[in-house]
A and B are shown apart, each in its own frame.
Chain A
Amino acid sequence: MLDLYLGISPKSDLILLQMLSERLNKRSFLHVNSTRAGGGVAEILQRMLPMLESLGIHARWEVIEGDEKFFDTTKKIHNALQGKEEIITKDMWNHYFEINRKNAFKINLEADAVLIHDPQPAPLIEFKKTGTWIWRCHIDVSNPQKRVWDHLSRYCKKYDAAIFSVAKFARAMGIDEFVILPSIDPLSEKNRKLTEQEINETLNKFQIPLDRNVILQVSRFDRFKDPLGVIEAYRTVKKYNDCILILAGSPATDDPEGEIVLNEVREYAGNDPDIYILLLPPFSDKDINALQRIATIILQKSLKEGFGLTVTESLWKGKPVIGGAVGGIPHQIIHGVTGFLVHSVEGAAFRIRQLLSNPGMAKSMGEKAREYVRNNFLITRQVRDYLSVWHSMENKGLNVLEL
């Protein structure tokens, strides 16, 4: 399976993956999360498990089961960890633990390395039998509601190590804390190379003309993604450069504000025939891929962001990205190299004009963007990092490991 990534991922990542897997050959690696489908974690696990298997590692993926009350509670925990005020009663915490206890008896938790993803299954650590247990936190916990974090961290501190997505998300818990940046799979439906025919299918479906420059933002209709700011920036640009704007996103079903924001966007766009508001149903990966490939410039003008894997996807398509300097975006957009970081609508408009007026600059940035993703944000690097953390935990105390 690793062969599929030859010529795509950096050769050195593939060599290191092979060398690490020789050392971890036939050892068992268990992943536990709370959903088999939907969400970035499940998406990456679906791709990662076969890769680990092909490397000779006995990888297993288990999903905890819970009732409505459990998932209501974990949703609230999730929100509180990201800074929102939530009340989690003693009864809810007890239920949260109880569901984990039941799962601990159902799931075989014996493995050489166990990676527990996110807060939902965190209490499983209380039922640890063998191996190295690592808590993998995918969310931004840099500014959590203190009471909720204090409760949850009682479990997290019992792990052998923790992994966060960005350095500033890490907490001082007194255990080894690693930083592993997220990744995309270059072979997935959202990122694989498309044929001209496949791209045309999408263009025909949405009646998108290709006679002018295309500015694109792919994101949920959410105020934190600043869709109105994007339209305002486009209007400024339009005075100087003829272009069309595509705002593409799935309706946020779990967000009651989604509908309101979408209506605001529609109203603000008015009857401008050059603004395309596309409501994409779930599983529109191929369409998103095609839109990113035909875009001249891609925006991610977020006001608040997690890591922002849509930025990674866009950079991978060889496009310069103009993004808000928030969350994980500055890790991906090197200002003036792979795109531009902006702090205002005016900044976004100026950078769009700059790139539209200098196609050579846009092309060269796009090339650097793709290389930057190749070297830093592909799934092979993430698997390499997981195996490196596992290997280093088995060689604790050594800062340099020679293979």
Chain B
Amino acid sequence: MEEIKPFEFKQCVSILKSTGKKAKNIRELRDIIAKVSEECIFHHTYQYFLKGHVLEYTSDFAHWAGESLEERALSEQLSNIDPYDFKNINDLRNELINVIDRYLKEFPEPRAAMPGDEFYFNETITLIFPVGIRARNLAEFLTAIKYIDLGSMYYHFYEARMRLGGGIDDFSRWIEETLWKKELAEKIRAIDPFMHNLEKIKEHIVSTVEDEVRKDMEVIDRCLTYI
């Protein structure tokens, strides 16, 4: 019998690196977004989901526009950009610029941030490491996922979409390709990464997998009653 390839839980940790660039108003924000590195755009959009608290906004750009500039409409428009809709970071960058340009056409003289409250452009160095947990079947996977850190959730559920391309998370990929549970994989893929924080994503996955494990157990019970 072919051996099942275990799911190896990993985690990533990011070390913040300053680019030395900062913007004090929307026009400067737009011009710097146009030329900063892809890592910088990645950090301020995708890695926003690594913040394990309230998701009033969905990127650092939207957060800054809302909190520091109090440009609520722009903040809402930026928050509505789902980074997972884009095939690559430059497409996402162009959409950010388009949204800001449209706003600037309507409100050409937006306010500037208070000194010290400018937008600071950063990027990260990411370290990936195994956390020493492996799952060989769905029951083990269920136990493991309840105990892993949110950093590990982020790595497998969010970061994987860009790392491997195709917008697919590691969990559903393993469940489909190794456990041949296509239906369950699709249920996990149906969880919208943009609409929940990491804790909620974890709860969703746990309850979805739990249903499946229970269903599998019930099948065995039914078989036993036929004997």
Residues of B near A179 (CB, < 8 A) are 16-18, 122
**A261 at the A/B interface (Cβ < 8 Å)?**
no
Measured between C-beta atoms, what is the minimum distance from A382 to chain B in Å? 11
Q: Given A12-B11, A16-B13 in contact, is the A171-B127 Cβ separation under 8 Å?
A: no
Q: Given A12-B152, A389-B15 in contact, is the A402-B128 Cβ separation under 8 Å?
A: yes
Q: In the bound complex, what is the Cα–Cα distance between A184 and B114 (angstroms)?
A: 30
Query: B53 and A170: CB pair below 8 A?
Result: no
**A399 at the A/B interface (Cβ < 8 Å)?**
yes
Measured between C-beta atoms, what is the minimum distance from A256 to chain B in Å? 27
Residues of B near A403 (CB, < 8 A) are 127-130
Q: Given A334-B53, A336-B54 in contact, is the A15-B129 Cβ separation under 8 Å?
A: yes
Q: In the bound complex, what is the Cα–Cα distance between A16 and B149 (angstroms)?
A: 13
Query: A334 and B54: CB pair below 8 A?
Result: yes
Query: A399 and B124: CB pair below 8 A?
Result: yes
**B126 at the A/B interface (Cβ < 8 Å)?**
yes
B interface bracket (residues with beta carbon within 8 Å of A): 20 to 34
What is the 8 Å Cβ interface bit string for chain B, positions 14-27, against chain A (1 contact, 0 not)?
A: 01111011100000
Interchain CB contact (< 8 A) of B126 among A12, A167, A401: A401
**B123 at the A/B interface (Cβ < 8 Å)?**
yes
Q: In the bound complex, what is the Cα–Cα distance between A265 and B4 (angstroms)?
A: 70
Query: A167 and B120: CB pair below 8 A?
Result: yes
Query: A12 and B131: CB pair below 8 A?
Result: yes
Query: A12 and B127: CB pair below 8 A?
Result: no
Query: B15 and A392: CB pair below 8 A?
Result: yes
Measured between C-beta atoms, what is the minimum distance from A364 to chain B in Å? 13
What is the 8 Å Cβ interface bit string for chain A, positions 133-157, against chain B (1 contact, 0 not)?
A: 0000000001100000000000000
Query: A170 and B120: CB pair below 8 A?
Result: yes
**A29 at the A/B interface (Cβ < 8 Å)?**
no
What is the 8 Å Cβ interface bit string for chain B, positions 127-155, against chain A (1 contact, 0 not)?
A: 11111100000000000000001011000
Query: A401 and B120: CB pair below 8 A?
Result: no
Q: In the bound complex, what is the Cα–Cα distance between A25 and B151 (angstroms)?
A: 26
Measured between C-beta atoms, what is the minimum distance from B135 to chain A in Å? 17
What is the 8 Å Cβ interface bit string for chain B, positions 105-135, against chain A (1 contact, 0 not)?
A: 0000000000110101011111111111000
Q: In the bound complex, what is the Cα–Cα distance between A178 and B20 (angstroms)?
A: 10
Measured between C-beta atoms, what is the minimum distance from B57 to chain A in Å? 13
Interchain CB contact (< 8 A) of B125 among A15, A172, A336, A401: A401
Binding site for B on A (CB under 8 A): 10-12, 15-16, 19-20, 142-143, 164, 167-168, 170-174, 176-180, 334, 336-337, 372, 375, 384-385, 388-389, 391-392, 398-403
Q: Knowing that A12-B13, A388-B13 are A-B contacts, what are 5 other residue pairs whose CB atoms are under 8 Å apart, sorted by A's residue number?
A: A167-B120, A178-B125, A337-B53, A384-B13, A401-B127
Please name the 6 residue pairs, one residue from A and one from B, whose CB atoms are nearest each other, closest first. Answer: A172-B20, A170-B18, A179-B16, A403-B129, A177-B18, A167-B120
